[in-house]
């Protein structure tokens, strides 16, 4: 199965947003994205960060050909939105989000198979032996070998996240979009997923990924670039080490934040004393002198 459109090559950009704005008429012409430019090259691994409501998911949905811009142009895998059959294009992009509808009683292996047809329910007649074997291989690659026959609904949050990534890889996409894949994972599950994404990037040089997250701690060491978004506008973007800085995070979130990197991983913490804590003086010890 080929992961490329005819004429598509890894040296070409896989996502290009040029002067993209999005306005929501339903919310009184609210500007969701404002003149956003963004280029993702083949093999790059991007993190999209920014405060709640900054527009991260909207950018991801543009890259997944799920929505169109109000103004500006969006090219995905070399095809301009508005001039291409988006259903065909969507089938070439792996999209993972928590809202993905999945039958809870379906086995993990079945859920992965449905990625071949892009359906919620399995279309059994469409899956040949090669597809079934591929689903097994992807589950093994994502470290899910032991529970291939376990019902999706009985899997833990971390296991579910990895199963959904395996599902998204069934169509052999050259672009994988992950919307808050670490949501509600405990620490060991988070670390397993970080490790899985890192191995995925290392094992598939042609694959580009974009991960929306709130926490730099969730970024695998393979993350090559980052985009900081604030109120629908680019604050800064580029190579990860030039973007994930204390100065940029402080500007992005409007409070002092220290960002550090160790062994390829990233850590952020607020260095501000919350005003509520500052105001609340500790009560005096009973019997203590003023």
Q: Contact positions toward ligand ATP, by CB under 6 A?
A: 24, 26-27, 32, 50, 52-58
To the nearest whole angstrom, how small is the minimum distance from the Cβ of residue 52 to ligand ATP?
3
Q: Give the strands of the sheet with 175-179, arranged side by side.
A: 93-97, 175-179, 208-212, 45-49, 225-230, 233-239
Q: Are 205 and 43 in contact (CB under 8 A)?
A: yes
To the nearest whole angstrom, how small is the minimum distance from the Cβ of residue 196 to ligand ATP?
23
Closest CA relative to residue 183, chosen from 275, 122, 61, 97: 97
Residue 76, helix vs strand vs coil: strand
Q: Are 179 and 97 in contact (CB under 8 A)?
A: yes
Q: Which is nearer to ligand ATP, 142 or 228 (CB)?
A: 228
Q: Which is nearer to ligand ATP, 33 or 89 (CB)?
A: 33
92-to-3, 116, 118, 171 alpha-carbon distances in Å: 7, 11, 10, 7
To the nearest whole angstrom, how small is the minimum distance from the Cβ of residue 56 to ligand ATP?
4
Return the C-alpha torsion angle 237, 245, 209, 188, nearest 10: -160
Q: Which neighbouring-strand residues pair with 96?
A: 178
To the nearest whole angstrom, how small is the minimum distance from the Cβ of residue 50 to ligand ATP?
6
Return the C-alpha torsion angle 227, 76, 80, 59, nearest 10: -40
Q: Which is nearer to ligand ATP, 26 or 288 (CB)?
A: 26
Q: Which is nearer to ligand ATP, 48 or 207 (CB)?
A: 48
To the nearest whole angstrom, how small is the minimum distance from the Cβ of residue 150 to ligand ATP?
29
Q: Which is nearer to ligand ATP, 97 or 189 (CB)?
A: 97
To the nearest whole angstrom, how small is the minimum distance from the Cβ of residue 61 to ligand ATP?
8
Q: Which is nearer to ligand ATP, 31 or 131 (CB)?
A: 31
Q: Are 4 and 204 in contact (CB under 8 A)?
A: no
């Amino acid at each position: 199965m080929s992961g490329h459109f005819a004429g598509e090559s890894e040296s070409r950009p896989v996502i290009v947003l040029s002067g993209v704005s999005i306005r929501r008429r339903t919310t009184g012409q609210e500007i969701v994205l404002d003149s956003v430019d963004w280029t993702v090259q083949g093999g790059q691994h991007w993190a999209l960060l920014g405060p709640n409501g900054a527009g991260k998911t909207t950018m991801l949905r543009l890259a997944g050909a799920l929505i169109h811009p109000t103004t500006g142009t969006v090219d995905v895998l070399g095809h301009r939105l508005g001039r291409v059959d988006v259903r065909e294009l969507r089938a070439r992009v792996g999209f993972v989000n928590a809202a993905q509808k999945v039958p809870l009683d379906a086995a993990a292996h079945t859920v992965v198979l449905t990625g071949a047809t892009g359906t919620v329910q399995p279309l059994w007649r469409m899956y040949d032996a090669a597809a079934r074997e591929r689903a097994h291989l992807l589950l093994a690659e994502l470290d899910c070998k032991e529970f291939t026959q376990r019902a999706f609904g009985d899997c833990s949050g971390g296991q579910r996240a990895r199963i959904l990534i395996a599902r998204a890889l069934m169509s052999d996409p050259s672009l994988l979009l992950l919307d808050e894949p670490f949501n509600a994972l405990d620490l060991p599950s988070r670390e397993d997923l970080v490790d899985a994404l890192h191995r995925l990037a290392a094992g598939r040089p042609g694959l580009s990924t974009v991960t929306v997250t709130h926490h730099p701690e969730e970024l695998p060491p393979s993350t090559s670039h980052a985009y900081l978004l604030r109120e629908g506008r680019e604050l800064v973007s580029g190579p990860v080490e030039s973007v994930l800085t204390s100065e940029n995070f402080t500007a992005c979130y409007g409070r002092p934040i220290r960002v550090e990197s160790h062994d390829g991983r990233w850590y952020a913490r607020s260095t501000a004393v919350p005003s509520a804590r500052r105001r609340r003086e500790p009560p005096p010890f009973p019997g203590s002198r003023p």
